[in-house]
Structure 1
Amino acid sequence: MNTIDIIVFFIYIGGIALFGGSFFKKNKTSSSYTLGNKDIPSWVVTMSIFATFVSSISYLALPGNAFQSNWNALVFSLSLPIATLIAVKYFVPLYRKINSPSAYTFMEQRFGAWARIYVSLCYLLTQLMRIGTILYLLALTLNAITGWDITTVIVFTGLIVAVYSMLGGITAVLWTDAIQGIILIIGAFVCIGFIFYNLPEGPSQIFNIAAENDKFSLGSFDLDFSKPTFWVVLIYGVFINLQNYGIDQNYVQRYMVLKSDKEAQRSALIGGLIYLPISALFLFIGTSLFAYYNSVEVLPEALQDISKADRVFPHFIVNALPPGLTGLMIASIFAAGMSTISTSFNSSATVFLTDYYNKYFKQDASDKKRMQVLYISSFIISIIGIAIAIAMINVKSALDAWWKLSSIFSGGMLGLFLLGIFSKTKNVTGAIIGMITGILIILWLTFSEVIFGPDSIGASFHTYLTIVFGTIAIFLVGFLVSSLMKSKT
């Protein structure tokens, strides 16, 4: 990076921090900190929903996938219309009716306090791992591009995001998310425009080279459930995206900040659907890079290993783009990461206040005390997230195991919510039995190959299907047990 790139990058970082912190005066109460003042434009919420979905991982991984293989990853995005329509029809009106800052209040209403504690604890665990993972990968990328120290980048990024998200509350998070979403889209278009301009035969060369190498394939259409075929990725996408847009506090909190149900539903729908064309744009960058490095330049020998495809886009940013544009693209990568991290800070603090402090510590606390809890919990969450990211530098294997464990338990969240919404009986025993069954199935599918060998039944299913089978098991077993117990009664 030269001086111009560094200036562009730090102007962006400083501008976002100052802009986010400028909303400090609007956070007079805990309600305004967690839900705003009902004065945030719907387009800001829409862009914030989109930006929350796009992390720096997807910003770099999608081009890497397309460069390495094909457009199979787009199938995941094709499931978004199905998932968002279900979320908009059933989940958004439900949360608006309950009118709680936390998505998990509904669980206690349906199945009791245990369900609320279970899903909120799973959420907090996964968010801590998410913050740590994104901070670590963001620092790893910046280290590869600039040579800056990984630990320094982790601490710097984590503290910058923590400060403006704490000062500005949900209002700062939404507005900065919206700006960051716009920046990362501009960055993607700038990158493609530069490749178009530098190809000897123009844009058509991309399509010719891609067609020759089957780069636009969406994957196999065979009914093989052991591989990431079109159907496996599509089914997986429906369940994961329904979990994101239906029960994730990061999104539910955004549904609550708008004035009307119609605005909330529209923002949820459009915010989800925007990702479909933008993910195609990211994949097209990867395909364009494949054409670029097969016609304009040759990749260094160190990057020609197909397993290092994720490093091609950062290499292109540093070595091919002119000064200024490199700084803009690095700011785009940071924008994707910062928007996701700031959301996790604010939403996790909201869950701690609503689902734990207000319920079990001090129900009649003053609003001043609640604001203190929000500030302190946000700070502690940021510190833990930074610590996890730093730990990943040396003990990534142990943290991978923690991530897998938290994913196992969070896999039961969607099934429990679906049971609560679509089952008419309020049978706690049925819900508990269903949840235990689902977790056992998730455990079996996760560790089947390790325990029973590669020829076992569990090992014959692709890992994408783990959450699918777990969710279905929780819903069906919970529904059947509840129905049978009701009939017997």
Structure 2
Amino acid sequence: MDPVDQKHFTVVDYVIFAILLAASMGIGIYYALSGGRQRTTQEFLLADRSMRCLPVSLSLIASFQSAVAIIGVPAEIYTHGTQYWFIGCAYVLGLLIPAHVFIPMFYRLRLSSAYQYLELRFSKAVRVCGTLTFIFQMVVYMGVCIYTPAFALNTVTGFELWAAVLATGLVCTLYTTMGGLKAVIWTDVFQTVVMFIGQLVVIVVGVQQTGGPSEVWNKVWEGNRISGLDLNPDPTERHTFWTLAVGGVFLMLSLYGVNQAQVQRYLSSRTEKEAVRSCYMVFPSLQVALALSCVMGLVMFARYCGEDPSHRLGTASQDAMVLYFVMDMLKDMPGLPGLFVACLFSAALSTISSAFNSLATVTMEDLIKPHFPAMTEERATLLSKCLAMSYGLLCLAMAYITHLMGDSVLLVALKIFGMVGGPLLGLFCLGIFFPWANSTGALGGLGTGLAMAFWVGIGSIVTRGSGGQLLPANCTSGLQPGNQTTAALTPLSSATGLKRFYSLSYMWYSALYCCTVVLTGLLISFLTGPMKEEDLTPGTIYPLLGNLLFFLPPHVREKLCCVTPLGQRVSQTTRGRNSRQFDRAAILERGN
């Protein structure tokens, strides 16, 4: 990087950044020494099921609004325009469906892990496969989350890369290990406030220094960054209304419906009503968070008019341009650059701590406890803490290989969730909505979905699909033409054959792989003998098909769709009938 363009932290900036880390650590210490002092797995992993809706909703936001979003979304808007903003339309169904389907079912079954449902519905083998798939997804994603802010900080300020990675990972690991889920949720609340304040300050100062709102609007309009409603149905187009608003629904369902990090927050609520209300409260907050990130991208464009970041940063990464913009805007205001970096690392800490806690939970509940049912509560709690710490160290190791990925961090993160979250969503949908699906179909569907995911995912990386087109920057900013992103890429729709298939927009990944699991699972289930209603655990089926076929006589709908009431408990007769598979009742009793 040109030394002239190198930005530097002041002492005040370092102090503000240190206060963030110290405050997060302090919350962890407080919950380690207060209440039940995290001596039971119920308290450590589920916060004693005592949380109210406000902290839970803010924690849900913080888990989703990671450093990847704070850096990646403005970079996306800066490079490709505001089309990505339409993903906000997907938030409607993406939160309504979990609030009325997934949350009531998981809460009434009194689960600790979302994957306990898979054993209740299918078999122990399906539960283990689902758990291992989730662990793989989150460990890889955590590498991206830890590495992203550290890389941006290093590129712009010269701050030691691995010192930032270690500081983030170790602080997060320690307060998660000491304070359990209560510490994770309350640090998320604190960090969410820091995130919103940091982004708002940058936007206000950026607009002021660019010449005011009218000047910003004129430049982004002239620069072709305000996107209209693109109704192109071509699935290989990177971002259209359909890919974002429809494909985005499946992405949101995989995050807010069945992802253990979010499900665990629902299950920590005091009541089912509080859990549902927290999901509703997420919607406006997510819209505000999306708007702040998108507006930051527009202000950044108005400032630099689409300038290629390699000119200033020595790297082609648009992600580093976001932090460069912040440091450039706030360079004469000591403390404010530190506030935004604190905002950035707050997002990283909240997401990472959520992952550590959820990974420890699923490992403990799904992989260890079933094999050691006589384990004492004290030993189980100690082991849970050791698991949280171990996953923290593992994710630090994953950060080391993240820099080898060539795409933007937003693209990488959403591809990971699509490639692995899509098949997991399909597995849960297969069990919840289709009473005929059996264990063999579930395993076959998940295997096919994952195989399809890695086939298309690796194919897109090799052929560099879903790269998108760079919009021309036509606004007048006095920059040299060679420094602007004026070159358009070859449209993806010109590809043919397998290359065109690999060029599928990454926003369709979750939908494609979810449908692959469901269709394959149903086919295998019918070929191997569909499940019968008497073999199902009551409360594990949502009568979707029964509701859709309302025009049929009740006895026909019951025969076809197994319209078992959602909240029905396992009866003594059901326990006996299903004992040949596994003691399902014991799982529910342990959850209680």
Q: Same fold (TM over 0.5)?
A: yes
- Choose the corresponding residue for 1:10, options 11, 18, 23: 18
Mapped partners of 1:212, 1:106: distance in 2: 53
Counterparts of 1:99 and 1:82 in 2: how far apart (Å)? Answer: 25
DSSP 3-state at the match of 1:247:
coil
Task: Select 2:326's aligned residue among 317, 326, 337.
Answer: 317
Deviation at 1:350, TM superposition (A): 0.8
Query: Could you tell me which residue of structure 1 aligns to residue 98 of structure 2?
Result: 87
How does 1:301-316 map onto structure 2 within 5 Å?
302-303=311-312, 307-316=316-325
Deviates further, 87-96 or 272-281: 272-281
Decide which of 500, 507, 515 is 1:472's aligned counterpart: 515
Tell me, what secondary structure is at the counterpart of 2:218? helix
Equivalent of 2:287 in 263, 276, 296: 276
Distance 1:192 1:307, change over 3 A: same
Q: Go from structure 1 to structure 2 and tell me whether the alpha carbon gap of 1:419 and 1:487 turns closer, same or farther (over 3 Å shift).
A: closer
Q: Quote the residue 1:32 is aligned against.
A: 43
Matches of 1:209 and 1:255 in 2, distance apart? 43
Amino acid at match of 1:459: Y
Deviations 1:260-287 (A, max 9, x none): 1111011022224421221121111110
CA gap of 1:410–1:186, structure 2 versus 1, over 3 A, is closer
Task: Pick from 453, 457, 462 the counterpart of residue 442 of structure 1.
Answer: 453
Query: Which residue does the alignment assign to 2:274?
Result: 263
Distance in 2 (alpha carbons) for counterparts of 1:111 and 1:319:
56
Secondary structure class of the residue paired with 1:464? helix
Higher helix share: 1
| Deviation by residue 1:8-51 (Cα, 9 ceiling, x = unmatched) | 11112112211222100331311000111344332111100000
Cα pair distance change 1:192/1:438, threshold 3 Å: same
Give the Cα separation in 2 of the matches to 1:272 and 1:121.
30
**How many angstroms apart in 2 are the aligned matches of 1:306 and 1:135?**
19
Q: How big is the shift at 1:118?
A: 0.8
Letter in 2 for 1:477: T
**3-state DSSP of counterpart to 2:104:** helix
Alpha-carbon RMSD across the aligned residues, in angstroms, is 2.8
Inter-partner Cα distance in structure 1 for 2:354 and 2:72: 21
Identity of paired residues, percent? 27
| Structure 1: distance between partners of 2:530 and 2:350 | 49
Is 1:224 matched up with 2:224? no
Task: Report how many residues are paired.
Answer: 480
Distance 1:133 1:215 in 2: 27
Counterpart secondary structure, 1:79: helix
Residues 242, 8 of structure 1: alpha-carbon distance in 2 compared, 3 angstrom cutoff = same
Structure 1 residues 87 and 141: CA distance shift in structure 2, 3 A: same
Aligned to 2:296: 285
Q: Distance in 2 between matches of 1:141 and 1:83?
A: 30
Bigger mean CA offset, 420-429 vs 251-260: 420-429
The 2-side partners of 1:355 and 1:32 are apart by 18
TM-score relative to the length of structure 1: 0.91
* 1:95 Cα deviation from its structure 2 partner: 0.6
Other-structure match for 2:392: 382
**Counterpart-to-counterpart distance in 2, 1:170 and 1:110:** 27
When residues 371 and 195 of structure 1 are mapped into structure 2, their CA distance, relative to the original with a 3 A threshold, is: same
| Shift in alpha-carbon separation, 1:431–1:391, aligned structure 2, 3 A | closer
**Deviation of residue 152 (structure 1)?**
1.7
Q: Tell me the distance in 1 between the aligned counterparts of 2:53 and 2:189.
A: 11
| SS, match of residue 237 in structure 2 | coil
2:560 equivalent in structure 1? none
- 429-438 vs 234-243, which moves further: 429-438
For 2:48, what is the secondary structure of its paired residue? coil
User: What does 1:77-476 align with in structure 2 at a 5 Å threshold?
Assistant: 77-200=88-211, 202-217=212-227, 220-228=230-238, 229-294=240-305, 302-303=311-312, 307-321=316-330, 322-360=333-371, 362-392=372-402, 408-425=419-436, 427-447=438-458, 455-457=496-498, 458-459=501-502, 461-476=504-519
Paired residue secondary structure (1:178): helix
Q: Distance in 2 between matches of 1:374 and 1:488?
A: 35
Query: Separation in 1 of the partners of 2:236 and 2:405?
Result: 27
1:427-452 CA deviation, whole Å, 9 max, x = no partner? Answer: 2233233334433433443355769x
Contact 2:309 2:321 in 1 (8 A): no
Cα 1:164–1:92 shift into 2, 3 Å:
same
Against the structure 1 CA distance between its residues 213 and 357, is the aligned structure 2 distance closer, same or farther, given a 3 Å change threshold?
same
User: Counterparts of 2:106 and 2:309 in 1: how far apart (Å)?
Assistant: 52
Equivalent position amino acid for 2:320 in 1: R
Offset at 1:369?
A: 0.4
**Which range moved further: 135-144 or 334-343?**
135-144
Instruction: Give the aligned partner of residue 79 of structure 2.
Output: 68
> Which structure is richer in relative contact order (CA contacts within 8 A, separation 6 or more)?
1
Per mean C-alpha deviation after superposition, the further-off stretch among 429-438 and 12-21 is 429-438
CA distance in 1, matches of 2:362, 2:529: 33
Name the SS for the 2:82 alignment partner.
coil
In 2, Cα distance between the equivalents of 1:304 and 1:10? 26
Q: Quick check: 1:59 aligned with 2:83?
A: no
Write the letter of the residue equivalent to 2:376: S
Q: Distance in 2 between matches of 1:309 and 1:408?
A: 23
Displacement of 1:425:
2.4
Structure 2 Cα separation of the partners of residues 124 and 181 of structure 1? 25
State the 1:311 CA deviation. Answer: 2.5
Is the CA contact 2:250–2:422 (under 8 Å) kept in the aligned structure 1?
Answer: no
Question: Which stretches in structure 1 are left out of the alignment for 5+ residues?
Answer: none
